[in-house]
Amino acid sequence: MKLKTHYVFSTGLISLLLSLLFSLNFYYNLFIAFYSSFLGNTLIDRIGHKEMLTRRGYIPVRTPLTHTLPRSIGWGLVVILPLLYLIYETHYGYSYYYDDGYYYSFLPVIISGILVGPSHMLLDVFTENGIYIKKNGKWRRYALAHFKYDNIGINGLAIFLGFLMLLASYYFSYHY
């Protein structure tokens, strides 16, 4: 899928799950979700796609470096490290003294790091290049549907779902 589609879909999915799991402020949820969605998806597509020269000119192809379920989780965890460090430096220690301990804790950030990769794979599995799974020691491409990565309908649908999940997250989370 297109990168901007990934941004919206992952941000929506992650902030919805965070709002269901933790009683956090909506904008704090949104910040964590957008942070890991933006960096995680960019990293997965930038280093996971390479240009290949074919008869039709250069086309983007996927490599198994990022487009597998376990590796995508790994890359998601890599991008949250700076944010975890920042939280550690600025708020660690305080969380014990306030009853909104979860607010500044690492758990929501770690969960969002775990989710961003699978949310990327979930969309790409519907495109013609699919994702990679290992079968008998070999990387195989796997797809549930074969839409072109920039198909307007399927990208539009994923963006729409992302917005719906954001709305739901707003509805389920705290506002103070």
Which residues of this protein are in contact with Zn ion, per CB under 5 A?
45, 124
When the beta carbons of 45 and 119 are compared against Zn ion, the nearer one is: 45
The angle subtended at Cα 112 by Cα 35 and Cα 165, nearest 5°, is 85
What is the nearest approach in angstroms of Zn ion to the Cβ of residue 62?
Answer: 6
What is the nearest approach in angstroms of Zn ion to the Cβ of residue 11?
Answer: 16
What is the nearest approach in angstroms of Zn ion to the Cβ of residue 133?
Answer: 15
d(CA 6, CA 149): 11
When the beta carbons of 76 and 124 are compared against Zn ion, the nearer one is: 124
What is the nearest approach in angstroms of Zn ion to the Cβ of residue 139?
Answer: 15
When the beta carbons of 19 and 45 are compared against Zn ion, the nearer one is: 45
d(CA 20, CA 79): 23
What is the nearest approach in angstroms of Zn ion to the Cβ of residue 39?
Answer: 14
SS3 52: strand
DSSP state of 94: G
DSSP state of 175: -
Q: Which long-range contacts (CB under 8 A, 24 or more apart) does 152-161 make?
A: 154/1, 154/126, 154/127, 155/1, 155/2, 155/5, 158/1, 158/5, 158/8, 158/9, 158/123, 159/4, 159/5, 159/8, 159/9, 161/9, 161/12
When the beta carbons of 101 and 146 are compared against Zn ion, the nearer one is: 146
When the beta carbons of 6 and 26 are compared against Zn ion, the nearer one is: 6
